[in-house]
A and B are shown apart, each in its own frame.
Chain A
Amino acid sequence: MTLAERETRPAAADSQLAEMLLQHEIEKLVNIEALLLDERRFEEWLDLFSDDVHYWMPTRTVRYERELHKEHSLPDEVAHFDETKRGLEERVTRIRSGMAWAEDPPSRTRHLFTNVMVSEGDQADEYEVRTNFLLYRGRLQRDVDIFVGVREDLFRRSPESEYGWLIARRKVTLDQTVLLAKNLSIFF
């Protein structure tokens, strides 16, 4: 490397470094979320979401290629989840009630996140974050469910948050049409 080349590097390196730092920050939060969910620290998990969050998991149908654009349910149709922050809080209240039999005894979950891809959002300080997941759930003695899919999130920089970020939107797509589980009493 010549001296001239060496002097042109910092600008490129800065932007690459910034991108790496951003990726690192976001992956850190993704991992923290997995930890909070798997340790059933649901109240702390709720703190990751902005007050205006929309948490959505549409349903999915088997379609021929020519109608594949109609595969997912639309925003004004049914969904597995279609939650506000308050809705998520109610679900946590239910789980903590001591009478939520589908979660008491609790599910044992392991959230595995991968293929984290970050791109700029519409607003400054907002980023689209796409994450593949594999969610293993064991329940009672022998129940096992495996959920695989993708989360499309909007991450928002937020100084008030403990982690510097809030999740302002989540769309979860499952790779099943008939859900091969007796319920979705867990979070994605």
Chain B
Amino acid sequence: MLPDVSRLVDTRNGTLDPRIFVDEEIYKLELKNVFARSWLFLAHDSQLVKPGDYITTFMGEDPVIVARQKDGSVAAFMNQCRHRGMRLCRADLGKAKTFSCSYHGWTYDLGGRLVSIPSEDDAYRNGIDKSEWGAIQVTQLATYKGFIFGNWDPTAPPLTEYLGDFTWYFDAFADRCEGGLEVIGGTHKWVFPANWKFAAEQFCSDMYHAPISHASAALALAPDDMEADDEIFPMDGTRGRQFTSRWGHGTGFFTESGDVLGVIVGREPGDWFQGGNPEVVERLGHHRALNMRGMHATLFPTFSFLPGINTMRVWHPKGPNEMEVWAWTVVDKSAPPEVREQQRIGTLRTFSSAGMFEQDDGENWSEIQQVLRGHVAKQTPLNAQMGLGLDWEDDPDFPGRVNRVYCETAARGFYGRWAQMLSGLSWDELAVTPPLEAVAQR
């Protein structure tokens, strides 16, 4: 039986019903009302260089093929044959002219159009209109600064509107240099036996865990002449901001800190990212170029990234109790070779399957998931009250609704939007109903 959806997330009091992480019925509704209606990251332009280049991925649990077309555009469609439902393409990526089903041989072109059926005239002498049996197209497809997103819902707002008040922060990652970002080859794929929201929320809203969860990595990685002290990871929350978007996105960062990137990914990429590159300052302005350090971010629901550390990832849901993370390393296209190489190494050593930071995240999430098997645990609300009622919207340097870096306003915004979508609010209603109450006047 589905729990009362309207009571699962209480943004006014900052509490979460733990069943949102474990309940099968909620999960099914989430696939329908959240994943089949949200803009989901599919691929980056640099992963599909030439016509015929394709990758296979997922939108929620639905498999899709994303392919570069002959005219340079991108198509995305269900990775499923329309005849008997077989998975069309079973490789992770590659180059193709067509996708031919290995069951009966129905063949689709790069855009998902059904172009040939074996023995068509004989087997379908009753007639078949191939134009009606193309692969199911992803309803909306859009690219923002090289990032390709898809959405199954024809009523969803355009991607630029969905990015909304988060755009200014996203650009700190996506729009630093002429030419943008490129993905370094290869993908880390691994599983966490935990609900996807733990990961998405943490990247959205949680700087608070870093000094505790990642204490060992910061200690081990600090160069000999640096210490992972309070200067690097300030414990004073006034020295940073967290932002919550009315669309459920969120980010947080230090505004004043030592060389936090230098400790994590190494000096060259740290200096490249935060060393005052005039082009970056010109494009982003002083605060975004220099005073957003150690940034974490989630674009609702499942696309997360860490600017500077330069990992980005999707948390694919695999049932309520498991997620599969797909993580990429990115680098400014104009970065010199030594920066690129150090970024490659620095990122894989910190945020990946064997990453010294990321290992400890998985421990937390999977243990929570185990604890939530208990009956009493499922009835016990979780606390998301940090900084409740203390947001402001008139920050001189950072636009939108912000708070101190150690708070959970972005978590409340994330879960608030999630609950609104889960309850089935239409996009028209969502557009005029922010997930959080208005900011109290100071």
- Please list the residues of chain A having a beta carbon within 8 angstroms of any beta carbon in chain B: 57-59, 61-64, 67, 70, 73-74, 76-83, 87, 90-91, 93-95, 97-103, 140, 143, 177-185
Chosen A-B contacts, 10 in total, with CB atoms closer than 8 Å, are A58-B186, A61-B186, A62-B90, A67-B95, A78-B347, A90-B221, A93-B220, A94-B216, A182-B366, A183-B362
B185 touches A77 (CB 8 A): yes
Instruction: Specify the chain A residue showing the minimal Cβ separation from B95.
Output: A67
Q: Is B304 interfacial (CB-CB < 8 Å)?
A: no
Q: What residues make up the interface of B, taking CB atoms closer than 8 Å to A?
A: 90-95, 184-193, 213, 215-217, 219-221, 324, 328-329, 341, 344-345, 347-349, 352-354, 356, 358-360, 362-364, 366-367
Q: Among B190, B221, B360, point to the contact of A102 (Cβ < 8 A).
A: B360
* 6 extra A-B contacts, CB within 8 A, seeds A59-B189, A63-B93, A74-B186: A62-B92, A70-B94, A76-B184, A83-B349, A91-B220, A100-B360
Interchain CB contact under 8 A, A61 and B187: yes
Q: Name the residue on A nearest B349 (C-beta).
A: A87
Once A77-B184, A94-B220 are accepted as A-B contacts, the answer to whether A179 and B93 lie under 8 Å apart by CB is no
Residue of B with least CB distance to A61 = B92
CA distance A122 to B219 in the complex (A): 39
User: Does A78 contact B90, Cβ atoms closer than 8 Å?
Assistant: no
User: CA separation between A94 and B355, bound complex, in Å?
Assistant: 11
Known contacts A61-B93, A80-B353, A101-B213; A93/B219 CB under 8 A: yes
CA distance A68 to B51 in the complex (A): 20
List, in ascending order, chain A residues with CB within 8 A of B344's CB. Answer: 76-78, 82
> Of A80, A93, A94, which one neighbours B188 at CB under 8 angstroms?
A80
Taking CB atoms, residues of chain B closer than 8 Å to A57 are 354
Could you tell me if B349 and A101 are in contact, using CB atoms closer than 8 angstroms?
A: no
10 A-B pairs with least C-beta separation:
A77-B185, A78-B186, A73-B186, A94-B220, A102-B359, A184-B354, A179-B190, A182-B362, A100-B216, A77-B186
B327, chain A: closest CB distance, angstroms: 8
On whether the beta carbons of A97 and B348 are closer than 8 Å, the reply is no
Q: Which of the residues A73, A91, A179 comes within 8 Å of B191, measured between beta carbons?
A: A179
Given A77-B184, A82-B348, A178-B190: A97 in contact with B353 (beta carbons within 8 A): no
A78 and B359 contacting across the interface, CB-CB below 8 Å:
no
Give A67 to B54 CA distance when docked, in angstroms. 13
Inter-chain CA distance A181–B325, complex, in Å, is 11
Q: Name the contact of B185 in the complex, choosing from A76, A178, A183 (C-beta under 8 A).
A: A76
**B216 contact from A64, A80, A99, A177, Cβ within 8 A:** A99
Q: Would you give the shortest CB distance from A66 to chain B, in whole angstroms? A: 8
Given A63-B94, A78-B187, A80-B354, are A94 and B217 also a contact pair (CB < 8 Å)? yes
Q: Which residues of A contact B352 (CB under 8 A)?
A: 78, 80
Chain B residues, Cβ within 8 Å of A177: 92, 189
Contact status A185-B191, CB under 8 Å? no
Partner of A64, one of B91, B219, B360: B91
Q: A80-B354, A94-B217, A102-B362 are in contact. Are A59 and B186 (CB under 8 A)?
A: yes
Contacts of B215 in A (CB 8 A): 97, 99
Query: How many angstroms from the CA of A181 to the CA of B328 in the assembled complex?
Result: 18
Residues of A within 8 A of B193 (CB): 182
Q: Cβ of A87: which chain B residues have Cβ within 8 Å of it?
A: 349
- By a CB distance below 8 angstroms, the chain B residues around A97 are 215-216, 219-220
* B119 to A: closest C-beta gap in Å: 24
Given contacts A64-B91, A93-B220, A99-B216, contact A81 B354 (CB under 8 A): yes
CB distance from A185 to the nearest CB of B (A): 5
Say which residue of B91, B94, B192 sits within 8 Å of A182 (CB atoms): B192
- Bound state CA distance, A82 and B348, in angstroms? 8
Assembled-state Cα–Cα distance A67/B358 (Å): 31
Chain A residues closer than 8 Å to B94, beta-carbon distance: 63-64, 67, 70
Whether the Cβ atoms of B91 and A67 lie closer than 8 Å is: yes
Min CB distance, A53 to chain B, in Å? Answer: 15
Q: Smallest distance from the beta carbon of A18 to chain B beta carbons, Å?
A: 38
Q: Which residues of B contact A76 (CB under 8 A)?
A: 184-185, 341, 344
Residues on A with C-beta less than 8 A from B354 are 57, 80-81, 183-185
CB A25 to nearest CB in B, in angstroms, measures 30
Query: Which chain B residues border A70 with CB–CB below 8 Å?
Result: 94
